[in-house]
Amino acid sequence: MKRLKFNRRNLIKSFAALGSVGFSTKVLAQDKSNPNNLPPNLPEWTPDLGAGVDENPYGSPSEFESDVIRRNVPWLTASSQSSVNFTPLQNLEGIVTPNGLCFERHHGGVAEINPTDYRLMINGLVDREMIFTLDDLKRFPQVNKFYFLECAANGGMEWKGAQLNGCQYTFGMVHNVQYTGVKLSDLLRETGLKPKAKWVLAEGSDTSGMTRSIPIEKILDDCLIAWAMNGEALRPEQGYPARLVVPGWEGNMWVKWIRRLEFGDKPYMTREETSKYTDLLRDGKARMFTWVMEAKSVVTSPSPEKPILAKGIQQLRGLAWSGKGKIKRVDVSLDGGKNWRTAQLHAPIMTKSLVRFTLPFEWSGEELLIQSRAMDETGYVQPNIQELQKIRGKNSIYHNNSIATWLVSKSGKVDNVRLG
């Protein structure tokens, strides 16, 4: 039987951005396939019947995908109940994060709540203080919206230099799902708002009693109370049975297990917005209320977990997002920022949602310094770390949206490095 041959001319047409290209059809150096299962042989799984329809009432991934999981850094925090794990961005396709792979950030562990006992209280500077059950919330007009959620500390360990050698560990505190819920602006038509209501205290019912102050303008703009993600009920670790959705803003404001919204005339200055989630500046002062997650991007392949395995045409893949709106453009550099090429953005391109980008290139075994740089529809351009450090210094944690660099060695191995 003849081996499949690639039509070079058609490949070049399909990769219109390339000039002179080549494609390797050699078996990958790390090929671990069983030759007995390859054509023209009959593979071992064909002769016998497989599992029946009742084998897995709730579907799960193939056993051969068992390494695609959330991972944590055990030494990062003193307790797993107040810690974080990371989404395996390098293993995902498209823009939808599967529910079981969405990163977790808890301040007091996962609250287990029976939905029949769930209540949402709205009080303070409202015309009518009210308490809603989950069924009450579902009687309102529902919306279905894709949004990314990013922890403010995503990439926080990289302020002083390249620390963790992995796409998952350096960028994995972000996920992107479709939320189903009710707009808070619709809910507040029932309660009414007093003229002096300018701020909201959002309070969770977990052990930490997570609380954040949110300006009324944001609440009335696009915030939701969500009870579902990607077509099914929220997972317990994502706030089941209901959570607050604050599109484009730092993840700690998306209060899980939401139990109360209190309306007041000034910010509440809670622990989470004074002792934490503030941005330290070079002069030692800290700025508060820097909520928006600005434009950011990452190349997911090649990456430290996704080395280049063969010479020839490669398909660079990545993700970009912005809390200010839609991503307008992503540029990619293969030489550490000396030269840039514009990547292809793949539909759908939605506001405050991840967008997938790709760029074909040819690799001949040379060293590469791969970077990506996002621009959003406001004109904001993703900065490099030196630009951030001029304002913030090197002792910051939150809101590191700087350009990352992957060093591709001559062997195809990829490492996280810092330039400059």
Residue 26 pLDDT exceeds 50: no
Asked whether residue 65 is domain-assigned, the answer is: no
Asked whether residue 16 is domain-assigned, the answer is: no
Same domain flag for 352 and 259: no
Q: Name the domain boundary from 287, 308, 336.
A: 287
Residue 167 pLDDT exceeds 80: yes
Sign of the torsion formed by the C-alpha atoms of 139, 140, 142 and 148: negative
Report CA-CA distances (Å) from 58 to 61, 99, 320. Answer: 10, 13, 31
Same domain flag for 150 and 235: yes
Q: Check residue 12 and give its pLDDT.
A: 39
* Global pTM value: 0.91
What's the gap between Cα 347 and its chain centre? 17
Same domain flag for 303 and 275: no
Asked whether the beta carbons of 192 and 139 are under 8 A apart, the reply is no
Same domain flag for 232 and 364: no
Same domain flag for 276 and 300: no
- Which tens digit of pLDDT belongs to each residue from 213-253? 999 999 999 999 999 999 999 999 999 999 999 999 999 99
Same domain flag for 227 and 303: no
Residue tagged 């080549």 (tokens): 22
Same domain flag for 157 and 243: yes
Residue 165 pLDDT exceeds 80: yes
Q: Name the domain boundary from 244, 267, 287.
A: 287
Same domain flag for 180 and 261: yes
Q: Which domain holds residue 372?
A: 296-417
Residue tagged 């084998």 (tokens): 55
How much is the average pLDDT of 79-83?
86
- Which tens digit of pLDDT belongs to each residue from 274-295? 988 998 888 888 899 999 999 9
How much is the average pLDDT of 37-45?
94
Same domain flag for 359 and 282: no
Same domain flag for 263 and 333: no
Q: Check residue 1 and give its pLDDT.
A: 38
Q: Check residue 280 and give its pLDDT.
A: 85
- The enclosing H or E element of 190 equals helix 184-191
Same domain flag for 349 and 409: yes
Q: What is the CATH number of the domain that holds 157?
A: 3.90.420.10
- The enclosing H or E element of 184 equals helix 184-191
| Percent of the chain predicted with pLDDT > 70 | 93
Residue tagged 């009080």 (tokens): 123
Q: How confident is the model at residue 367 (pLDDT cuts 50, 70, 90)?
A: very high
Asked whether residue 77 is domain-assigned, the answer is: no
**What is the layout of strands, in order, in the sheet containing 414-417?**
341-342, 327-333, 368-376, 405-408, 414-417
Q: How confident is the model at residue 30 (pLDDT cuts 50, 70, 90)?
A: low
Q: Check residue 78 and give its pLDDT.
A: 83
Q: Name the domain boundary from 287, 318, 346.
A: 287
With b meaning 16 or more CB within 10 Å and e meaning fewer, what string describes 358-394? bbbbbbeeeebbbbbbbbbeeebbbbbbeebbeebee
Tokens for 271, please give them. Answer: 């622990």
Asked whether the beta carbons of 298 and 319 are under 8 A apart, the reply is yes
- Nearest residue to 181 (alpha-carbon basis) of 131, 245, 119: 245
Asked whether the beta carbons of 126 and 197 are under 8 A apart, the reply is yes
| Percent of the chain predicted with pLDDT > 90 | 81
Which H, E and C letters describe 375-408, residue by residue?
EECCCCECCCHHHHHHHHCCCCCCCCCCCCEEEE
Q: Considering its fold, how many domains does the chain have in total?
A: 2
Residue tagged 């970077």 (tokens): 371
Asked whether residue 20 is domain-assigned, the answer is: no
Q: Check residue 114 and give its pLDDT.
A: 98
How much is the average pLDDT of 381-399?
93
Q: Check residue 231 and give its pLDDT.
A: 98
Same domain flag for 133 and 263: yes
Residue 85 pLDDT exceeds 70: yes
CA angle (296 as vertex; 290, 299 as ends), nearest 5 = 155
Q: Check residue 359 and give its pLDDT.
A: 98
